[in-house]
Amino acid sequence: MATATRRRMSDQQLLAELEPVAEAQLNAHEKIAEEWFPHDFVPYSMGRDFDTDPWTPDQARLTGVAQIAFEVNLMTEDNLPSYHREIHAMFGHGDGAWINWVHRWTAEEGRHSIVLRDYLVVTRAVDPYEMERARMAQVQTGYDHDNKGTLTGMAYVAFQELATRVSHRNTGKYSQDPIADRIMARIAKDENLHMRFYRDMLGAAMHVDPSAALEAIVDEVVGFEMPGAGMHNFMRKSAQIADAGIYDLRIHHDEIVWPLLRHWKVFELEGLDEQAERRREELATFLEGLDAQATRFEEKREHRKARRAARDARTN
């Protein structure tokens, strides 16, 4: 089969060509997006003054992994200043649809840390002093996505928004707190709409330069890292979250990676050049390995559960 010759475009050329699509997507987003207010979701009647009634661990509304997952989700949302800088660098083209989307996205994302922090403080779900110290450290550390270009940026945020949606939704369910679950479900709706924008923009880019778009997808699938990766003790916390089934390799493989790959029809895509064809083969091999890793993790988790159950039975 003859291979295609790549049409090379600069990021600015690509953004300019996709501007009409971005405008249509932004208009569609604004029609679908629901107005909501963080204060409507927070049970302020539960609040008490901390100067007269200091926080103590026994007051925590959330404990264990649920508490850890909420802290990780909040710290991730807190880094919005860095994310705004990143997407402005990737998509802040001109004074039209792209920059309007960047500001709209940032404004909507800002509600997430507001509602999460207010819920956690008012319900005394976590230590408010440690939470603020963690926010200071996280924002000062910032987030740097290594100056990704337009296509890799689109691919990354599509995967990341979907991953965040699933992680938030599962965290709410796991908490067994109806208030927390309602908050996370509301945030997840935003994340889903944001994912759709980036997913569909990358889909449009695939018609302009399929080979470059394919390589961007492969880069981000193979090197994907959640934005909380720079967080203190992130590896330990993410392992606990995975062990609880909130977000693990199986979820990442089945509910994040493959749904987007199928939507983009990555393995049916035609007109690729030789390099992109090789990268697609690399992707197929990587996915087989990821699936195997997910299976091994599930087996080990079940083994740990069985050992814990046997130990508890002996103790009782």
Host H or E run for residue 43? none
Residues in the chain, how many? Answer: 316
Contact, 253 vs 290, CB < 8 A? yes
Give the Cα separation of 313 and 217 in Å (integer): 48
Q: Work out whether the CA dihedral 32, 33, 35, 38 comes out positive or negative.
A: positive
Cα separation, 69 vs 261, in Å, equals: 27
Q: What is the pLDDT of residue 2?
A: 43
Residue 214, token pair as written in the block: 């394919």
Residue 250 tokens, joined = 């199986």
Which residue from 156, 158, 264 is spatially nearest to 219, judged by alpha carbons? 156
For tokens 């960047």, name the residue: 102
For 60, counting Cβ atoms within 10 Å of its Cβ (0-12 exposed, 13-18 middle, 19+ buried), the class is: middle
Domain boundaries, the chain: 11-315
Residue 179 three-state SS: helix
pTM flag (> 0.95): no
Q: What is the largest CA-CA distance in the chain?
A: 76
What the block records as the tokens of 82 is: 């860095």
Q: What would the pLDDT profile of 289-315 be if each residue is shown by its tens digit?
A: 999 999 999 999 998 888 877 777 777
Q: 160, 80, 165, 64: which is closest to 117 by C-alpha?
A: 80
Cα Rg for the chain, rounded, in angstroms?
A: 21
Helices (H), the chain: 11-32, 64-78, 80-91, 97-122, 128-141, 150-175, 178-208, 210-222, 234-243, 249-251, 258-264, 274-315
Q: Which fold has domain 11-315?
A: Ribonucleotide Reductase, subunit A (1.10.620)
Phi, psi of 218 (to 5 degrees): -60, -45
Residue 22, amino acid: A
Place of tokens 């039209």: 96
Q: Which residue has the tokens 């908050």?
A: 183
Query: Which parts of the chain sit beneath pLDDT 50?
Result: 1-2
- Give SS3 for 57: helix
Residue 36 dihedral angles phi and psi, to the nearest 5°: -150, 160
CB atoms < 10 A from the CB of 222, how many? 14
Token pair for residue 72?
Answer: 């990780």
Q: For residue 160, which of 125, 132, 194, 123 has the smallest C-alpha distance?
A: 194
Q: How many CB atoms lie within 10 A of CB 193?
A: 18
